[in-house]
Chains A and B, each alone.
Chain A
Amino acid sequence: MTSDAAERDAYPDTASPRRDAAGLGLAALRVGPALMVLVVVLAAGALSPVFFTTRNLGNVLSQTAVIAILALAQLLVIVTRGIDLSVGSTLALSAVVGAMMFGSIGSGPLVVLAMLATGTAVGAVNGALLVWGRLPHPFIMTLAMLSIARGLALWLSGGQPISGMPTVVQQLGGGSIGWFPYSAFLVIGLALLTLLLTRAMVWGRWIFAVGGNPDAARRAAIPVNGVVVSVYVLSGLAAGIAAIVNAGRLNGGSPTFGELAELDAIAAVVIGGASFHGGRGHVGNALVGALMIGVIRNAMNLLDVNAFLQPIVIGVVILLAVELDVVRGRLEERLRILQVVRS
């Protein structure tokens, strides 16, 4: 385009060695979470001869799948300035409903459908009450739902695990091609779908606009309420999908599934550099965050580290990742200012 050329002429390249170095540092910080995972993986491999066996890698992936699926949807919610605390409980409710369905009907597709529908329905209630019930903050809505969905799961199941899942579900949760679990394929597929939604589709632009400035989004005629409801519906749906993986792996549904899973998902998204102020976050980084949690847990188990230390390490990793992101933000801003001053 002629205008592009003119732009370039108007602002000739002002790169200097110092800025190149800073730019390189910035690039490194941008992929910070991925580098951290790489370091953790290499360290785990060095410390434990078992870590890099295909059997263990398959294990890591299938254990991470549930967190990863929940994190993908949690990312969408957090981008809109929201939060969904109910996904762990919703997972349990979906699993229990699926297990009861299997007990009474036994049809694989119907069980899958029931689990997905349960999750979606919970998400729809979250979104609808939040928007049209005018609740002051999604924290409150989904905190209440955390309690309600867990209670429903306990009540329906009588507090007992229900064993048995159809073959489809068992395969999705526990099956693999060679050592590579089906659930990891599922995560990759869902990640690509989320990437398509957020990067290529209008709806994806809307969630970032709503998270960035909800008032401006309203004035720009973006259907803000619909967008907000949609992310909670998707989060519920994701909880249903995660329930299939979890219930399939353990061949049954239990009301204690997914306890604190919502916090793992939120941690994964935060490690991935998404902002609670909304409008910022990336699919790849959320997956990296989930992988980080999965790898650290696995490595510590392999190394026989006291189980009580695990939450401490995860907490420190969250702080470290976010601190890195703060440094990245500062540096980025300084570089931009430098650029503006020179032009």
Chain B
Amino acid sequence: MTASNAPALSVRGATKRFGAVVALGGVDIEARRGEVLALLGDNGAGKSTLIKCITGVHRLDSGTVEMDGAPVDAGSPAAARALGIETVYQDLALFDNLDPAANFYAGRELTTPRWLPRGLRLVRRRAMAEATAVVLHRLEVGMADLTTPVGLMSGGQRQAIAVARAAAFATKVVILDEPTAALGVRESRHVLDLILRLRAEGLAIIVVSHAMDHVMEIADRAVVMRRGRTVGELIPRPENKEQIVSLIVGGNG
């Protein structure tokens, strides 16, 4: 397998135990460039654990994570970010007291001069503000005022800021945890469009969602998990919605 057609991210034989509880019992998934993968499953199916293992919050007990065909070790959230994986958490992990640019660059500030210890360097405020404006413009995220603290923005705008932040820094994979759970119809629409634009930019996208209609609409592939295992993989279409739901709840499983 060559690097060019290898999946952007592949997880093989992932297991994770918390004490006696088997959270992941040998999970395989692949996320490919320019594709939206939906990760489905009921509460406790292991989706969050899998995501946290990929993003360096937890460590796998066994199994491998490969990116572009090469094994990687994301031992911390910072390491995962360095590998090109960005995550949009369900709580968004925004700093409500800071403006969009400060939110984008928190923990990865553009700084000068390089010979100083990181904390003591000067921030390049203008450069960060400009780069942020460019990304928001590219992703067609409309913001009236880029100096507004994000805490004063609407739910949809906050979600858009969080997604755009991930898009700005992800070079390979963007993971979104319930991106539309807290949004109204119109705001969900915006976020779904935004996700499709990220796909068009060639990123591999993993979406964890309970909103079946949204999954049908944007996902190219769906992996269903139950009790720490993958129990099915299919292409979501309106006609197999029933099948997906029964896979999730384990009705005819």
Contact = CB atoms under 8 A, between A and B. Distances in A.
A204 B142 CA distance: 29
Given A201-B123, A202-B119, A336-B152, A209 B98 contact: yes
A213 B102 contact: no
Contacts of B95: 208-209, 212-213, 216-217, 279
Contacts of B89: 219
Given A202-B121, A222-B106, A208 B153 contact: no
Contacts of B91: 215
B107 A201 contact: no
Nearest to B111: A202
A20 interface: no
Contact of B107 (A208, A209, A336): A209
B77 A343 contact: no
Nearest to B135: A3
Contacts, number: 108
B97 interface: yes
Query: Which size bracket describes the interface of B in this complex?
Result: 35 or more
A200 interface: yes
A222 B103 CA distance: 12
Nearest to A1: B130
A205 B109 contact: yes
Given A201-B120, A202-B119, A216-B106, A221 B81 contact: yes
B120 A333 contact: no
A45 B133 CA distance: 49
A15 interface: no
A304 interface: no
Interface in B87-103: 89, 91, 93-98, 102
B137 to A, nearest CB: 4
Nearest to A211: B97
A45 B81 CA distance: 59
Contacts of B97: 208, 211-212, 278-280
Contacts of A279: 95-98
A215 B97 CA distance: 14
Q: What secondary structure prevails in chain A residues at the interface with B? A: helix
A336 B143 CA distance: 12
Contacts of B123: 200-202, 204-205
A11 B144 contact: yes
A202 B109 contact: yes
Given A205-B106, A216-B106, A222-B107, A336 B134 contact: no
B119 A339 contact: no
Contacts of B137: 3, 6-7
Nearest to B150: A212
Nearest to A4: B133
B152 A333 contact: yes
Contact of B144 (A1, A212, A217, A340): A340
Contacts of A202: 109, 111, 118-123
Interface string A306-343: 00000000000000000000000000110011011011
A216 B77 CA distance: 11
B120 A209 contact: no
Q: What secondary structure prevails in chain B residues at the interface with A? A: loop
A233 to B, nearest CB: 13
B134 A220 contact: no
A220 B130 contact: no
A212 B133 contact: no
Given A202-B111, A340-B153, A212 B98 contact: yes
Contacts of A203: 119-120
Contacts of A226: 119
Given A1-B130, A217-B107, A339 B145 contact: yes
A257 interface: no
Nearest to A275: B97
A21 interface: no
B133 A336 contact: no
Nearest to B105: A205
A226 B137 CA distance: 36
A175 B152 CA distance: 48
A279 B96 CA distance: 9
A98 B145 CA distance: 52
A219 B77 contact: yes
Contacts of A201: 119-123
Contact of B96 (A200, A212, A337): A212
A340 B153 CA distance: 8
A223 B111 CA distance: 16
Nearest to A342: B144
A200 B148 contact: no
Nearest to B81: A221
Nearest to B151: A212
Contacts of A105: none
A10 B145 CA distance: 11
Given A205-B102, A219-B89, A213 B107 contact: no
Given A202-B120, A203-B120, A212-B96, 14 more contacts: A3-B137, A202-B121, A202-B123, A205-B109, A213-B96, A216-B94, A216-B106, A217-B95, A217-B106, A221-B76, A222-B107, A279-B95, A336-B145, A343-B144
10 contacts: A1-B133, A3-B137, A200-B123, A201-B123, A202-B122, A221-B81, A222-B106, A226-B119, A336-B148, A342-B144
4 tightest A-B contacts by CB?
A220-B107, A279-B97, A221-B78, A343-B144
